[in-house]
Structure 1
Amino acid sequence: MTVRVGVITFPGSLDDGDARRAVRLAGAEPVALWHGSHDLEGVDALVLPGGFSYGDYLRAGAIAALAPIMSEVKDAAAKGMPILGICNGFQMLVEAHLLPGGLIRNAHQQFIRRDQRLVVENADTAWTSEFRRGQEIVIPLKNADGGYIASDETLARIQGENLIAFRYAGVNPNGSMDDIAGLTNEHGNVVGLMPHPEHAIEPGFGPDTSAAMRSGVDGLQFFTAAVSAVVHSAA
């Protein structure tokens, strides 16, 4: 079967093209979707890409969470469709209450750009099943509003229910509570993270020098895992 993965473009999306390329390299068909539409065009999975939707006014992802297409995204999430939110997309998922907690300005008030080591904490989701728990991967990170926060009650719940998908390793780059870099919902179909797996999908992609972010392929497994999840659910 041909797996179709929708990538939603919002005003200010920057990485939607990169996400579609990742989908294509994972063996699926990327489908460009528009924030103002109510039609998911029959896709099997969704990606909410990185960028600065609506200029990050109010809070990052807050306006995008109210976009027309998000009502369909919420319905799809409830029905078990694999949905990945990357950076600004993660912020949208949190603002739409599809994932718990919140994201605020980085602790040092600066934009971050670095290759980031992550530890996989949950390998039982639609997007992480090709990793193993405890595996360390390297994914590029670039954000200004990546500090994860939650109430004590919420933090205890996500820890107890194994909803932490990724933690920062080596350094906490933005002051996130409990080193949280990404989350999953309780069903494992919705995953959000601040680092950008779509920028680590093929060797030699991007600069590879001591002065710049290195290339890598750790991000491709996010997309191939989702493709496999769709195929297995249809079998």
Structure 2
Amino acid sequence: MKFAVLVFPGSGSDVDMHHAVTEVLGEKAEYVWHTEAKLESFDAVLIPSGASYGDYLRPGALTKSSPAIAELKSFAASGKPVLGVGNGFQILTENGILPGAFLQNKGLKFRSGKTKLTVQNTDSAFTSSYEQEQEITIPFAHQYGNYFVDENTLAELKNTNRIAFTYSDGCVDGSTGNIAGVLNEQGNVLGVMPLPERAVEEIIGGVDGLPLFNSILKRWSENNVN
């Protein structure tokens, strides 16, 4: 399987993503600079965390001017998997690929550490290697981690089983419905705020993020390997 790690100016976890795919999964990955993004030859796209364009306007907002976005929308529409993590999740919402928006944390400060999540949907290409309602521990690092949707959108996300992960330890940053990760309608795009690529080896503090990457590989193998 061949992954594209889509890199914008200010991306910060691109190396972590590349390492998770190549060194832990043993699959292929290439860094793809946003102005040179040609994605059709890849099997999946990963959008790492960081501070794209320095978060100058809003986190993820200035990516709208990048030629990569038309490529990304086309790739997502093709049904292939797209994973946006942290700032990558913000990029997906700012460009209308996922619903919602991000506000500053309720405490108005940057926070980092580890958080506990509950797996709410194990039917997706990103979560099939987890157990339903499994509690996992994943690192996080954000100032704009407060995911917001209105009541109608929240009800729709619940009714269509598009909430992939929720915070199970209080959600002090304020996300609507304790949401930590959501899927698009087609189920091939996932945005998640905590950082699963930083939880793929015991040596760095745990492997609770590894099933997410294994799920992507598993679904691809089911569809492409005879």
Question: TM class, shorter-chain normalised?
Answer: over 0.9
Whole-Å separation in 2 of the counterparts to 1:173 and 1:142: 13
TM-score by length of 1: 0.92
Whole-Å separation in 1 of the counterparts to 2:67 and 2:97: 16
Query: Number of residues paired by the alignment?
Result: 224
Whole-Å separation in 2 of the counterparts to 1:41 and 1:73: 9
TM-score by length of 2: 0.96
Whole-Å separation in 2 of the counterparts to 1:232 and 1:67: 33
Partner amino acid for 1:85?
Answer: G
Q: Deviations over 1:9-39 (max 9, x none)?
A: 1000010000000111112111111111241
- Per the alignment, residue 227 of structure 1 pairs with 217
> Do residues 188 (structure 1) and 187 (structure 2) align?
yes
Q: Is the 8 A contact 2:40 2:75 kept in 1?
A: no
2:19 to 9, 21, 31: 21
- Per the alignment, residue 72 of structure 1 pairs with 71
Deviates more, 1:174-183 or 1:61-70: 61-70
Whole-Å separation in 2 of the counterparts to 1:31 and 1:108: 37
Q: Which runs of 4+ in 1 moved over 2 A?
A: none
> Do residues 172 (structure 1) and 171 (structure 2) align?
yes
> Do residues 218 (structure 1) and 173 (structure 2) align?
no
Q: Is the 8 A contact 2:183 2:190 kept in 1?
A: yes
The DSSP-based 3-state class of the residue aligned with 1:178 is helix
User: Gaps (5+ residues) in structure 1?
Assistant: 206-214
Whole-Å separation in 2 of the counterparts to 1:28 and 1:66: 31
The DSSP-based 3-state class of the residue aligned with 1:23 is helix
Q: CA deviation at 1:156?
A: 1.3
- Per the alignment, residue 8 of structure 1 pairs with 6
User: Gaps (5+ residues) in structure 2?
Assistant: none
Q: Deviations over 1:134-184 (max 9, x none)?
A: 011000011000101111211111111111111001221311111011101
Aligned pairs for 1:12-51 (under 5 A) are 12-24=10-22, 25-40=24-39, 42-51=41-50
Whole-Å separation in 1 of the counterparts to 2:36 and 2:131: 37
Identity %: 41
